[in-house]
């Protein structure tokens, strides 16, 4: 996944005015050059290309108090938020037909923006759920309550989901994954550095403070917070580390419900699946068996009071952003400030729009693509995809480490990758989702339940490979191993302040061709994606010798990124980030050879004093134009399979010979690597 380090939200009108023909270097020269304007020429590109490419922009764009970072994604979203807000206000005022998408958008907005009503309601919107938990008398009742809360969107104890069977992509399967933690992942419970220990202490205080807001006195709140922390620590101890979750074979453990019962003595899984709405499940794919063994043990050994505290916390945590101001503030204090470093809360209207996108994303998407992603724009990026695919095919044919028989299979997989560009042909049907003006919390709960049931109903049905898993207004992109597809939402191509018609090919091939299209294609052949075949099945299609040679190259990129240090002593996790680092490097070299076939590259004319090759690399760096608060950066290093933005630029550039050529990089400069140390995969 490209992952631009921001919330999944929307489109820029810049895409609306694309030309049928690609802009030329002469066209670009007649406009203010955003690539040139962003440069910090006091930095040598061979020492720190990220800062050279983006330094002036970063200096001129301090991080807003309400954000954990400032970057191109935030800039893309500014106009989108304004347009979504306008659309939502109009929908709220309209006398829309009951059950229509406009009515749902309008009602979600109207009750969401009503802070007075939310403050009057206090914790009332979750009272029924809290009462359900409080009524438990024995631990035997815990699974039923967990099942109910999960359907409302609460991450409670277990992680069921429905998805394509990794080894039979034509079938939908029930998966069970590790889940149930209030901190981002297991490392937060065990790392001993001062930063993480401080987060743990703050977390326990936050849990206690939330209990106090629910009416508990200090003694009870502190005792219950300790219960929560102890139970979550037990779950964390059996949770796998970030890098371990990227091994598809080790995280694929298919078993019958009877075998699952033997793994977890004492749990009646058939009944539990029935309570989860899936009574006919007979087999399940368990991601982390040791985690579920611990779940079974905890359900035997932890008293009901511990489970009441844990489930009360999970419900309160899950819905705190939808409740009255004290809950919102307390939630932000920990998750916004302590974990992410934001100094002020985002305005309510933006937070409501984020929730609305989560609940009704396709309904909003239908409204936007009609106006803001014209056929001309789609045609340009459809063509760009074809050109980058053709370039990748040439790279596969020319690599010296892959045998001829494996190349044949690799090319077959490449040409069977389905590109989904812009927006879906078929939209989700929200007719079964009720949205009204009773409370924001109720709408979020119902939307979560709708989404849960939407996925659950896929069990036993044919796989719909045409379905989109992103909305067109999402500033991100993805590769699906099971569908062997790349999803490229319209918003992924948006460039702030620049109309698509004014973006020359050098910029576009770097920004979209390399960092997005080439990146996602390469995911089909990274250390994880390469283990799936052309039909999306987990299956070894490489020869042993090819796989060994590939893994030797992967080991070099892992070592390279392990060597990068941030925040004094924190390191990038080279193994956890390997797939994304491979995709970044692959995207750059594949996109570059596609760009070399364009008229702009062949003519070689400078724009703003920059050669086409330089503009290409700067276009790539534009995609990672971002700086982050230390807290957010520390969290990313522990929880994210993507490297920080600076190293998504400097890391792969150090491996690309054409970058050395473009900027005259010499021995002794910080990014210089001798030929023998450079990674070359694709």
512-570 residue pLDDT tens: 999 999 999 999 999 999 999 999 999 999 999 999 999 999 999 999 999 999 998 89
Nearest to 276 by CA among 135, 435, 184, 154: 154
Are 394 and 523 contained in the same domain?
yes
Residue-range definition of the domain harbouring residue 529: 385-422+501-682
| pLDDT value, residue 375 | 84
Residues 400 and 316 in one domain: no
The CATH number of whichever domain residue 316 belongs to comes to 1.10.1380.10
Mean pLDDT, range 403-418, rounded to an integer: 98
Please indicate, yes or no, if residue 580 is contained in any of the structural domains. yes
Rounded average pLDDT over 265-269: 96
- Residue 587 is predicted with a pLDDT of 98
Q: Decide which of 273, 303, 322 is a domain's last residue.
A: 322
* Residue ending a domain, choose from 272, 293, 322: 322
Condensed to tens digits (0 to 9), the pLDDT of residues 268-283 reads 999 999 999 999 999 9
Which is it for the CA torsion 400, 402, 407, 413, positive or negative? negative
Q: Flag whether pLDDT at 495 surpasses 90.
A: yes
- Give the model's confidence band at 11: pLDDT under 50 very low, under 70 low, under 90 confident, else very high: very low
Average pLDDT over residues 595-618: 97
On whether both 537 and 416 belong to a single domain, the answer is yes
Any idea which of 10-24, 545-559, 592-606 has the lowest mean pLDDT? 10-24
DSSP character at residue 264? S
Q: Within this chain, do residues 414 and 268 fall inside the same structural domain, yes or no?
A: no
298 and 153: one domain?
A: yes
Task: Kindly state whether residues 315 and 393 are assigned to the same domain.
Answer: no
Is 516 in the same domain as 663?
yes
Element (H, E) at 419: strand 418-422
User: Is residue 240 assigned to a domain?
Assistant: yes
pLDDT for the residue numbered 24: 53
Q: Is the pLDDT of residue 7 over 60?
A: no
With H, G, I as helix, E, B as strand and everything else as coil, classify residue 284: strand
Average pLDDT, rounded, for the chain: 94
Closest to 680 in 3D by CA, of 557, 519, 527: 557
Number of domains in the chain: 2
Q: Is the pLDDT of residue 401 over 70?
A: yes
3-class state of residue 41 by DSSP = coil
Query: CA 49 to CA 413: how far, in whole Å?
Result: 34
Write the pLDDT tens digit of every residue in 105-137: 999 999 999 999 999 999 999 999 999 999 999
Give the strand pairing for 418-422 and 168-178: unpaired
| 456 found inside a domain | no
The whole-angstrom separation of Cα 473 and Cα 464 is 21
Residue 391 and residue 301 share a domain: no
The predicted pLDDT at position 184 comes to 97
Q: Is residue 294 part of a domain?
A: yes
Span 433-442, average pLDDT? 98
**Percentage of the chain lying above the pLDDT 90 cut:** 90
Lowest-confidence range among 3-12, 150-159, 604-613?
Answer: 3-12
Domain boundary among 322, 339, 360: 322
Strands 626-628 and 418-422, how do they pair?
unpaired
CA-closest candidate to residue 608, choices 84, 51, 41? 41
575 lies in some domain:
yes
Q: In this structure, what CATH number is given to the domain that contains residue 403?
A: 3.40.390.10
Please indicate, yes or no, whether residues 269 and 401 belong to a single structural domain of this protein: no
pLDDT of residue 9: 33
Q: How confident is the model at residue 27 (pLDDT cuts 50, 70, 90)?
A: low
Q: Is the pTM of this model over 0.85?
A: yes
If asked whether residues 279 and 406 sit together in one domain, one would say no
Q: Is the pLDDT of residue 18 over 50?
A: no
Which residues, 6 or more positions from 659, have their beta carbon under 8 angstroms from its beta carbon? 49, 617, 653, 665
Round to whole Å and give the CA distance between 443 and 112: 9
- 521 in a structural domain: yes
Domain-embedded: residue 260: yes
Distances from the Cα of 502 to the Cα of 334, 372, 512, angstroms: 43, 16, 15
pLDDT of residue 23: 53
Instruction: Name the region of 606 (left: φ>0; alpha: ψ -120 to 50; beta: rest).
Output: beta
Q: Over the stretch 164-213, which tens digit does the pLDDT of each residue have? A: 999 999 999 999 999 999 999 999 999 999 999 999 999 999 999 999 99
Helix (H) or strand (E) holding 408: helix 404-415
Q: Are residues 291 and 394 in the same domain?
A: no
| Residue 240 pLDDT exceeds 80 | yes
Residues 315 and 407 in one domain: no
Q: Is residue 628 part of a domain?
A: yes
pLDDT band at 16 (very low <50, low <70, confident <90, very high): very low
Instruction: Give the separation between CA 71 and CA 52, rounded to whole angstroms.
Output: 15
């Amino acid at each position: 996944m490209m992952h631009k380090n921001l919330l999944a939200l929307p489109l820029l009108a810049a895409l609306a005015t694309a030309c049928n023909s690609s802009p030329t270097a002469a066209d670009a020269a007649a406009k203010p050059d955003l690539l040139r304007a962003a440069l910090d020429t006091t930095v040598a590109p061979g020492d720190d290309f990220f800062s050279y490419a983006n330094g002036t922009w970063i200096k001129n764009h301090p991080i807003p108090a309400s954000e954990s970072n400032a970057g191109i994604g935030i800039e893309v979203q500014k106009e989108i938020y304004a347009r979504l807000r306008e659309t939502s206000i109009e929908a709220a005022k309209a006398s829309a037909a009951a059950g229509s998408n406009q009515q749902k958008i309008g009602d979600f907005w109207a009750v969401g923006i009503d802070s007075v009503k939310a403050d009057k309601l206090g914790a009332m919107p979750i009272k029924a759920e809290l009462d359900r938990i409080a009524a438990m008398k024995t631990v035997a009742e815990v699974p039923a309550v967990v099942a109910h809360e999960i359907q409302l969107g609460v991450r409670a104890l277990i992680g069921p989901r429905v998805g394509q069977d990794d080894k039979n992509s034509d079938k939908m399967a029930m998966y069970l994954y590790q889940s149930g933690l209030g901190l981002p992942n297991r490392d937060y419970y065990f790392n001993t550095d001062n930063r993480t220990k401080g987060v743990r202490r703050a977390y326990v205080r936050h849990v206690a403070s939330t209990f106090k807001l629910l009416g508990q006195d200090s003694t009870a709140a502190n005792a219950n917070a300790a219960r929560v922390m102890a139970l979550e620590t037990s779950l964390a101890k059996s949770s796998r580390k970030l890098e371990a979750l990227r091994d598809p074979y080790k995280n694929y453990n298919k078993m019958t419900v009877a075998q699952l019962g033997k793994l977890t003595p004492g749990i009646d899984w058939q009944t539990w699946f029935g309570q989860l709405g899936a009574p006919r499940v007979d087999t399940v794919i368990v991601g982390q068996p040791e985690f579920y063994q611990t779940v079974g043990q905890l359900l035997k050994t932890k008293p009901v009071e511990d489970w009441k505290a844990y489930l009360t916390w999970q419900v309160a945590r899950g819905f705190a952003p939808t409740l009255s101001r004290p809950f919102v503030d307390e939630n932000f204090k920990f998750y916004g400030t302590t974990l992410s470093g934001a100094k002020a809360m985002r305005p309510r209207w933006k937070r409501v729009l984020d929730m609305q996108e989560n609940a009704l994303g396709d309904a909003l998407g239908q409204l936007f693509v009609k106006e803001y992603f014209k056929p001309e724009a789609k045609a340009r990026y459809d063509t760009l995809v074809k050109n980058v695919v053709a370039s990748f095919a040439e790279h596969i044919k020319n690599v010296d480490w892959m045998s001829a028989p494996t190349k044949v299979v690799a090319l077959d997989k490449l040409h069977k990758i389905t590109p989904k560009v812009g927006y879906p042909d078929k939209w989700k049907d929200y007719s079964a989702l009720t949205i009204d003006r009773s409370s924001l919390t109720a709408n979020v709960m119902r939307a979560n339940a709708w989404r849960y049931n939407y996925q659950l109903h896929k069990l036993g049905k044919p796989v719909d490979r045409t379905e989109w898993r992103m909305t067109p207004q999402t500033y991100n992109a993805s590769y699906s191993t099971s569908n062997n597809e790349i999803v490229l939402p319209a918003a992924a191509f948006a460039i702030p302040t620049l109309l698509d018609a004014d973006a020359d090919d050098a910029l576009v091939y770097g920004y979209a061709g390399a960092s997005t299209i080439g990146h996602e294609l390469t995911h089909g052949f990274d250390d994880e994606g390469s283990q799936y075949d052309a039909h999306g099945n987990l299956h070894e299609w490489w020869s042993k010798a090819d796989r060994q040679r590939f893994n030797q190259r992967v080991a070099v990129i892992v070592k390279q990124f392990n060597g990068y240090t941030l925040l004094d002593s924190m390191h990038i996790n080279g193994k956890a980030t390997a797939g994304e680092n491979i995709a970044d490097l692959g995207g750059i070299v594949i996109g570059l050879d596609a760009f070399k076939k364009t008229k702009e590259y062949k003519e070689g004319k400078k724009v703003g004093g920059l050669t086409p090759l330089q503009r290409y690399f700067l276009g790539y760096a534009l995609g990672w134009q971002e700086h982050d608060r230390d807290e957010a950066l520390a969290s990313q290093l522990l929880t994210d399979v993507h490297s920080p933005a600076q190293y998504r630029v400097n890391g792969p550039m150090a491996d690309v010979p054409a970058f050395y050529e473009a900027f005259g990089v010499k021995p002794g400069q910080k990014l210089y690597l001798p030929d023998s140390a450079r990674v070359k995969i694709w």
